[in-house]
Amino acid sequence: MKTVSAPYQFKGGIHPDYHKELAWKSAIERMPNPSELTVPMSQHLGAPAKVCVSPGDAVKKGSLIGEQNGFISASVHAPVSGTVKAVVQSCSATGRSCQAVVIESMDDGETEYFEPIVEWLHTHKERLRNRIGEAGIAGMGGAGFPTRVKLSPPHDKPIDTVILNGAECEPYLTSDYRVMLEHADKICIGAEIIQHILGAKTVRIAIEDNKPDAVRAMEKACAQERQGIEIDILPTGYPQGSEKQQIYNITGREVPRGGLPMDVGCVVENVGTSLAIYEAVVHGQPLIERVITVTGEAVERPANLLVPFGTSYRKLVEHCGGVRESVAKVISGGPMMGFAVGSLEIPTGKTTSGLVLLPSGCIQQFSSQACIGCGRCVDACPMGLVPSELSQFIEADDIEGAERIALMDCIECGSCAFVCPAHRPLVQHMRRGKTGVMARRAAADAQTRK
């Protein structure tokens, strides 16, 4: 085990005010089970799970309530014991509507977990992958890509490096930080399970240099472990937590355009995912809860809560003492890439890393001003794009033109809109353009199939 500074640094990026001090001192506390939970079937990327319970059924904590539906999908389990009250349509943070199971909770302390695999090092990799799959684990950094798929790269793409993403470059959020501080040893074991499954040579744990105590905690936890684990300290900045940028910083390899990390022999997993893998393998616990940071200038008592999925945002805010001042914006996730929500009646899920409540003074106000061509977005873009030009193309509905100048390489990190003095909604333009490109590609596909 050794600790090094990441040898490379990607071009671009920004340095926002982090405001992490709001919540980073508060230790993870377990949120009491609410009386009723609405567990969405789509908490991950891909096809929603298929409901496999019906109203009136009794479920235990950990019982399967939604079956994995297709290859890119993840199963869903009951976060608490209780009775299924109904199957309803519920709204997710992104505004998509999906099926959800409403469970009336009943604290009987009973669980229905998987059989623990303590001797994981001597267990067949396929069995571990299946366990991760049946536990419904999806990337907990924000995108929610099913982890089982990520850990099953094709044979022609050997993985030599596992990167554990503990950068947490999103302002305000502290959940990964607290998890690293309090569960460092479990994360290490989780990382080793990933390493074992992929047969990777090294594990690199990436942490930004504004979290020195997390670095120390991870160092301590890893010290007694085997060789091949390395802690890479990244200079604080955004988007250090972005997969492609992180791989570049640590290994100097650039994920090719349109490619995936596995194309350069890397797999990046969030530290929270690593913890979930540990729990699923060693304790047999499916993914039914996670640490969520409830923070922001508009919340009374910022905290890091261990929350069972399906708890509504309103319950989280109430648990944290309610709102402090007139709240203008509620963000599910971090303020750079999270989703603003229109109401608090939204259930938490596997990708909810935080809930940030901001008063009107702290938020971005987009305007319809024209681009003044200052080029700051060009300097800020970590992908080497020209956001100003892209947005102008998209505004003029020249989607083809935008695609030609690498629209699809945009990672929607928001660095451009963060620095734009004209406060243009650049990311929204990019998304709109991407939707247009996707539609066109789908139409072209349909044409060729005809």
Partner 1 sequence: MDSETIKFILTPFLWVGLTGLVIGVSLALAAKYMAVREDPRIAQVTELLPGANCGGCGFAGCAEYAKAIVVDNADITLCAPGGAACVDSIAAFMGVSAGSVEKMTALVMCCGDDESAERRFSYNGINDCAAADALAGGDKGCTYGCLGYGSCARVCPVNAIIIEKGLARVNKALCIACGKCIAVCPRKLIKLVPTAAPIHVLCNSKDKGADVKKVCSSGCIGCRLCTKFGDEGAFVMDGFLAHVDYSVPITREEVIEKCPSKCIRRN
Partner 2 sequence: MKPENTSERFIVSSSPHIHEGSSVERIMLDVLIALTPALAAACYFFGFDALRLTAVCTATSIATEWLCRVMMRRNRSIGDLSAAVTGVLLALNLPPSLPTWMAVLGSIFAIGICKQIFGGLGYNVFNPALAARAFLLISFTGMMTSWSDSDWSATLTLNEGVIDIATGATPLGAIKDAVKAGREIPGFTLAGVARLFIGDTNGCLGETSVFALLIGAAYLLYRRVITWHIPAAYTATVVIFATVLYCVNPQTSVMPHIHLLSGGLVLGAFFMATDMVTSPVTKRGMLIFGVGCGVVTMVIRTVKTGAYPEGVSFAILFMNALTPLINRGCRNRVFGAKS
Partner 3 sequence: MEYLLLIVSAVLVNNFVLSRFLGICPFLGVSKKLHTAMGMCGAVIFVMTVACAVTWCLQNFLLKPLELEFLQTLTFILVIASLVQLIDIAMKRFVPPLHAALGIFLPLITTNCAVLGAAVLNMKQGYGFVKSTLFGFSAALGFALALVIYTGLREKIDRADPPRCFQGVAIALVTAGLLSLAFMGFSGIVK
**Contact set for partner 2, span 312-351 (CB under 8 A):** 326-331, 335-343
Report d(CA 41, CA 345) in Å as an integer.
Answer: 16
Report d(CA 446, CA 104) in Å as an integer.
Answer: 45
We find the least distance from the C-beta atom of residue 31 to partner 1, in angstroms, to be 24
Measured from the Cβ of residue 373, the count of other Cβ atoms closer than 10 Å reads 11
Could you tell me the CA-to-CA distances from 392 to 371, 396, 399 in Å, in that order? 8, 6, 10
Residue 32 binding target from partner 3, partner 2, partner 1, none, CB below 5 to 8 Å by type: none
Q: For partner 1, which is the closer residue by CB, 33 or 42?
A: 42
What strands, in cross-sheet order, belong to the sheet with 303-308? 29-30, 303-308, 289-295, 354-359, 327-332, 339-341
Residue 130 binding target from partner 2, partner 3, partner 1, none, CB below 5 to 8 Å by type: none
Site for partner 2 contains 372 (CB under 8 A):
yes
Site for partner 1 contains 99 (CB under 8 A):
no
Q: What angle do CA 358, 363, 369 make, to 5 degrees?
A: 160
Which region holds residue 191: left if phi is over 0, alpha if psi is between -120 and 50, else beta? Answer: alpha
Site for partner 2 contains 375 (CB under 8 A):
yes
Site for partner 2 contains 262 (CB under 8 A):
no
Binds partner 2 (CB under 8 A): choice among 118, 143, 405, 438? 405
Site for partner 2 contains 45 (CB under 8 A):
no
Q: For partner 1, which is the closer residue by CB, 185 or 395?
A: 395
Q: For partner 3, which is the closer residue by CB, 112 or 395?
A: 395
DSSP secondary-structure letter at 34?
Answer: P
Q: How many residues bind partner 1 (CB under 8 A)?
A: 21
Report d(CA 198, CA 161) in Å as an integer.
Answer: 9
We find the least distance from the C-beta atom of residue 343 to partner 1, in angstroms, to be 6
Measured from the Cβ of residue 446, the count of other Cβ atoms closer than 10 Å reads 9
We find the least distance from the C-beta atom of residue 398 to partner 3, in angstroms, to be 8
**Contact set for partner 1, span 412-441 (CB under 8 A):** 425, 428-429, 431-432, 435
Site for partner 1 contains 342 (CB under 8 A):
yes
R_g of the chain, CA atoms, integer Å: 22
Report d(CA 268, CA 205) in Å as an integer.
Answer: 10
Q: For partner 1, which is the closer residue by CB, 95 or 384?
A: 95
Give yes or no for a contact between 62 and 78, defined as CB atoms under 8 angstroms apart.
yes
Nearest to 249 by CA among 233, 265, 262: 233
Decide the pairing of beta strands 82-91 and 76-77: unpaired
User: Residues interacting with partner 3, by CB under 8 A?
Assistant: 370, 392-393, 395-396, 398
Could you tell me the CA-to-CA distances from 133 to 45, 64, 201, 281 in Å, in that order? 14, 12, 23, 11
Site for partner 1 contains 360 (CB under 8 A):
no
Residue 54 binding target from partner 2, partner 1, partner 3, none, CB below 5 to 8 Å by type: none
Binds partner 1 (CB under 8 A): choice among 98, 106, 260, 340? 340
> Residue 26: what residue type?
S
DSSP secondary-structure letter at 400?
Answer: H
Q: Which span sits near partner 1 by CB under 8 A: 26-34, 200-208, 222-230, 335-343?
A: 335-343
Residue 362 binding target from partner 1, partner 2, partner 3, none, CB below 5 to 8 Å by type: partner 2
We find the least distance from the C-beta atom of residue 424 to partner 3, in angstroms, to be 13
Report d(CA 384, CA 362) in Å as an integer.
Answer: 28
Binds partner 1 (CB under 8 A): choice among 341, 371, 383, 407? 341
We find the least distance from the C-beta atom of residue 433 to partner 2, in angstroms, to be 12
Measured from the Cβ of residue 227, the count of other Cβ atoms closer than 10 Å reads 9
Q: For partner 3, which is the closer residue by CB, 118 or 370?
A: 370
Site for partner 2 contains 64 (CB under 8 A):
no
Report d(CA 171, CA 176) in Å as an integer.
Answer: 12
* Interface ranges with partner 1 (CB under 8 A): 91, 93-97, 339-343, 365-366, 368, 395, 425, 428-429, 431-432, 435
